[in-house]
């Protein structure tokens, strides 16, 4: 069942790539959407089974004998199965949106989207570190192609190239780490490696952890590995952005968490503080950069950087309650951010530009995208009962218990900055508030071909469903309990190793978690209240003179120069390693 | 066990990164990326090396003979396939950059902001 969820979209992708050019476009759409729908149902069944007992499938039937494995497992615990299901649901939304949005694409686009889904699901479900590297590269290569899909635009190919070089470099550093681990343990499976890690040289294990995490942190766009993200998001087709921001970037954090708990738990004492430092810097820098943007997609891209920083901070607490919060935050963020990207896509379709100032007041009559921006902004601010709020509340409570009093304010600042920027766009574009500005007169291709007189429901419905779902997530108590159960299993290394290697029981006792605490509600309210001045001040034209040198320096650092990005990456690896050793 | 091959792998990685950072040509950047990946081949083959071992092909030798680790060789092969894909794609993108922007010097490309 687990294998089928990965094999089916890959197989259909190959068929579409080979024969799709002779099929009419509606049929291609139907085949692709139908396949993803089938995958969604299949993964739903996997999740239901995983909630009873995690599913372990050995490829080719190479089961372990006597606790020793020579095969490659796929492990569907509730967390992995749930994340794979999220991938499928978002792909479904992106494909439905593409029906009318990307009118000029060929069947090869659908084939790539299916293959991308398969690669992401496989990356989530694999129980083998080397396979994780292979699927990481597969998913990355397809992501480069999808980013550069409109190859006739100069920005597009430049963004895709930066994305490709930096991500691949990160992946190779990860492979070096995998090599070191294999040299020590003679194993490649997460579980098999984890079982043999105790008693190894502490320094070597720490270095290996730093190297393995590098590629995943590049994918997760943690500062200073984040430079590629905005370049790629600003130029990728909108449905692809939905998948990038909604789930692909977050898979990087998932991979760090999986590698830590399945393999390294307890062996790298510095992991928590080191990851937390990166998380804090990422959350804050992403928020600041978000406020400074005027290109709507770039703005949303930096907001993703900021929110992934918060998720990383949640994971870094290395505690199951905090992890549950991070997972819930991820879920809420995926819905809100996907809906925002779709709404931005409708703007691009209408006005052939995404420059916020040029769009001033022009969205007054677009009621649905306007509502999505308002709801999305409030959701990002952490307004109860949104999914982001519920996740944040759980994370803050866990951080408080760990003595990390600064975690909650960092989250509030990040939410206020990113939400303020989105609300500013809403005020300026959809309400016509503030002075009208002259634009850069740089027009972009609409991605859609001809302009539409009315937005079709296939473009609006996914945004409404995703945004609407995300802002009421905090009310679904059953889901919160499910996620906390999943997180309880996720952090239980002994259970994971036993379940994978000897088919043993894997039950984690987890107390039910409740986001409705006084501190949580106050934190959410603080995010919303602080977002308002950020939005209103942002409507005034220039940045205050005092801050201008700092702002210019920040902008100059995000130069689009691939060599500089590579230098930052190297410095980041060194810094992360140093933090691991000193913290 | 000699440390030299491990140092060589690290050296190749750093040399590749140095090339990428200082490069004035996108094709050169992509080739430097391949160089960094070559470091992973060296590392993997070093890890699997056994002194006096032969290639792990059992068609004409006794299975009891000493061989080098076949797992890392499989990994290196997979790695090479990945490298071919990535390099081909990135070179194609570099060609597109040259066509659309008229330059492949990263310093000359305008920022994407």
pLDDT in tens, chain B (113 residues): 688 999 999 999 999 999 999 999 999 999 999 999 999 999 999 999 988 888 888 777 777 778 889 899 999 999 999 999 999 999 999 999 999 888 888 888 866 65
The interface residues of chain A toward chain B in range 252-311, judged by CB-CB distance below 8 A, are: 295, 298
Residue B67 forms beta bridges with which residues?
B54
| Residue tagged 């022009």 (tokens) | A362
Contact A561 B82 (CB under 8 A): no
φ, ψ for residue A61, nearest 5 deg: 75, 15
**Distance from the first to the final alpha carbon of chain A:** 43
Shortest Cα distance, chain A CAs vs residue B52, angstroms: 18
Cα–Cα distance between A166 and A465 in angstroms, integer? 34
What is the per-residue pLDDT for A447? 66
> Do the Cβ atoms of A571 and A563 come closer than 8 Å?
no
3-state helix, strand, coil split of chain A in percent (to 5) is 75, 5, 25
The interface residues of chain A toward chain B in range 232-261, judged by CB-CB distance below 8 A, are: 234-235
> Do the Cβ atoms of A348 and A414 come closer than 8 Å?
no
Q: Where are the domains of chain B?
A: 4-101
Closest residue in A to B41 (Cα–Cα): A176
Contact A179 B107 (CB under 8 A): no
Among B82, B93, B106, beta carbon nearest to A148: B93
- Give all strands (DSSP E) within A366-442, no chain letters: none
Cα–Cα distance between A402 and A394 in angstroms, integer? 13
Closest residue in A to B94 (Cα–Cα): A161
> Which tokens belong to A83?
């994340």
> Do the Cβ atoms of B93 and A160 come closer than 8 Å?
yes
What is the per-residue pLDDT for A444? 64
Residue B54 forms beta bridges with which residues?
B67
Interface residue A188 vs chain B (CB under 8 A): yes
* Sign of the torsion angle spanned by Cα atoms A43, A46, A50, A52: positive
The predicted model scores a pTM of 0.95
Among A155, A160, A558, beta carbon nearest to B93: A160
Give contacts of A169 with chain B, Cβ < 8 Å. 17, 20, 33, 36
Residue A56 forms beta bridges with which residues?
A75
Residue A75 forms beta bridges with which residues?
A56
Low-confidence spans in chain A with pLDDT less than 70: 437-452, 509, 541-543
pLDDT digits (tens, 9 = 90+) for A9-53: 999 999 999 988 899 999 999 999 999 999 999 999 999 999 988
Cα–Cα distance between A55 and A503 in angstroms, integer? 10
> Do the Cβ atoms of A486 and A79 come closer than 8 Å?
yes
CA of A562: how far to CAs of A78, A261, A309, A393, B82, in Å?
38, 33, 23, 38, 21
Among A182, A230, A563, beta carbon nearest to B21: A563
Q: How many CB atoms lie within 10 A of CB B3?
A: 8
pLDDT digits (tens, 9 = 90+) for A215-236: 999 999 998 999 999 999 989 9
Q: Is B63 exposed, middle or buried (0-12, 13-18, 19+ CB in 10 A)?
A: exposed
What is the per-residue pLDDT for A102? 87
Cα–Cα distance between A40 and A50 in angstroms, integer? 15
CATH code at B4-101: 1.10.287.3510
Shortest Cα distance, chain B CAs vs residue A343, angstroms: 21
Q: Is A228 helix (H, G, I), strand (E, B) or coil?
A: helix
Sequence-distant (≥ 6) Cβ neighbours of residue B48 within 8 angstroms:
B68, B69, B70, B71, B72, B73
Contact B20 A144 (CB under 8 A): no
Interface residue A445 vs chain B (CB under 8 A): no
CA of B103: how far to CAs of A235, A236, B98, in Å?
19, 22, 5
DSSP A433: -
CA of B77: how far to CAs of A77, A134, A579, B80, in Å?
30, 12, 34, 5
Cα–Cα distance between A39 and A117 in angstroms, integer? 9
- Give all strands (DSSP E) within A102-159, no chain letters: none
| Residue tagged 């505690």 (tokens) | A319
Bond into B78 cis (ω within 30):
no
> Which tokens belong to A484?
């906390």
Give contacts of B29 with chain A, Cβ < 8 Å. 165, 562-563
CB pairs under 8 A between A and B: 121
Contact B47 A561 (CB under 8 A): no
| Residue tagged 């008229």 (tokens) | B102
Interface residue A468 vs chain B (CB under 8 A): no
Residue A168 forms beta bridges with which residues?
none
Among B78, B79, B93, beta carbon nearest to A161: B93
Interface residue A71 vs chain B (CB under 8 A): no
Count of positions (residues) in chain B: 113
> Do the Cβ atoms of A242 and A302 come closer than 8 Å?
no
Question: Which of B38, B46, B35 minimizes the C-alpha distance to B4?
Answer: B46
């Amino acid at each position: 069942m687990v294998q089928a969820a990965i094999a089916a979209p890959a197989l259909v992708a190959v068929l579409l790539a080979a024969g799709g050019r002779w099929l009419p476009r509606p049929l291609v759409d139907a085949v692709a959407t139908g396949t993803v729908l089938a995958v969604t149902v299949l993964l739903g069944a996997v999740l239901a089974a995983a909630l009873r007992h995690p599913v372990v499938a050995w490829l080719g039937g190479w089961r372990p004998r006597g606790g020793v494995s020579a095969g490659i497992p796929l492990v569907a615990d509730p967390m992995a199965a749930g994340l794979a299901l999220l991938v499928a649901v978002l792909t479904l939304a992106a494909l439905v949106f593409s029906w009318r949005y990307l009118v000029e694409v060929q069947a090869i686009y659908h084939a790539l989207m299916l293959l991308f889904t398969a690669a992401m699901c496989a990356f989530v479900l694999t129980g083998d570190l080397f396979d994780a590297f292979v699927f990481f590269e597969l998913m990355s290569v397809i992501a480069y192609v999808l980013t550069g899909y409109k190859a006739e635009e100069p920005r597009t190919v430049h963004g895709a190239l930066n994305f490709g070089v930096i991500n691949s470099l990160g992946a190779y550093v990860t492979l070096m780490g995998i090599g070191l681990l294999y040299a020590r343990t003679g194993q490649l499976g997460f579980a098999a490696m984890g079982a043999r890690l105790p008693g190894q040289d502490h320094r070597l294990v720490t270095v290996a952890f730093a190297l393995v995490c590098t590629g995943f942190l590049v994918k997760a766009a943690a500062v200073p590995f984040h430079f590629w993200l905005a370049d790629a998001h600003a130029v990728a087709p909108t449905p692809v952005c939905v998948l990038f921001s909604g789930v692909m970037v977050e898979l990087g954090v998932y991979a760090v968490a999986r590698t830590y708990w399945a393999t390294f738990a307890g062996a790298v004492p510095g992991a928590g503080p080191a990851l937390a430092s990166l998380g804090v810097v990422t959350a804050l820098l992403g928020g600041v950069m978000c406020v400074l943007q005027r290109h709507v997609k770039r703005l949303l891209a930096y907001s993703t950087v900021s929110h992934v920083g918060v998720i990383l901070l949640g994971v870094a607490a290395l505690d199951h309650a905090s992890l549950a919060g991070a997972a819930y935050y991820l879920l809420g963020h995926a819905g809100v951010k996907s809906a925002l990207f779709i709404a931005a896509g409708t703007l691009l379709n209408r006005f052939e530009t995404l420059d916020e100032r040029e769009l001033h007041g022009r969205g007054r009559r677009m009621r649905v995208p306007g509502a999505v921006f308002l709801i999305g902004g409030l959701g990002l601010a952490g307004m109860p009962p949104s999914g982001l709020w519920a996740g944040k509340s759980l994370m803050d409570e866990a951080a408080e218990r760990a003595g990390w009093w600064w975690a909650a304010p960092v989250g509030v600042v990040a939410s206020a900055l990113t939400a303020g920027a989105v609300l500013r766009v809403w005020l300026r574009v959809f309400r016509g508030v503030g002075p009208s500005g002259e634009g850069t007169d740089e027009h972009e291709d609409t991605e859609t071909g001809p302009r539409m007189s009315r937005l079709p429901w296939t473009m609006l419905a996914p945004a409404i469903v995703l945004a609407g779902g995300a802002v009421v997530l905090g009310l679904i108590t059953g889901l919160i309990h499910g996620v906390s159960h999943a997180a309880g299993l996720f952090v239980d290394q002994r259970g994971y190793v036993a379940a994978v290697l000897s088919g043993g029981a894997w039950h984690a006792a987890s107390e039910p978690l409740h986001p409705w605490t006084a501190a949580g509600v106050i934190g959410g309210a603080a995010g919303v209240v602080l977002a308002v001045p950020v939005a209103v001040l942002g409507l005034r034209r220039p940045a205050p003179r005092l801050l201008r040198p700092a702002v210019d320096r920040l902008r100059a650092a995000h130069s689009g120069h691939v060599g500089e990005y590579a230098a930052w990456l190297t410095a980041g690896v060194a810094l992360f390693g140093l933090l691991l050793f000193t913290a | 066990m000699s440390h030299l091959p491990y140092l060589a792998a690290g050296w190749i990685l750093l040399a590749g990164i140095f090339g990428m950072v200082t490069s004035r040509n996108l094709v050169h950047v992509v080739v430097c990326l391949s160089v960094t990946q070559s470091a992973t081949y060296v590392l993997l083959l070093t890890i699997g090396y056994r002194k006096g071992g032969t290639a792990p092909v059992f068609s004409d030798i006794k299975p009891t003979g000493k061989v080098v680790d076949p797992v890392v060789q499989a990994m290196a092969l997979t790695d090479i396939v990945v490298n071919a894909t990535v390099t081909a794609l990135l070179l194609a993108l570099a060609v597109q950059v040259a066509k659309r922007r008229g330059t492949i010097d990263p310093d000359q490309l305008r920022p994407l902001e």
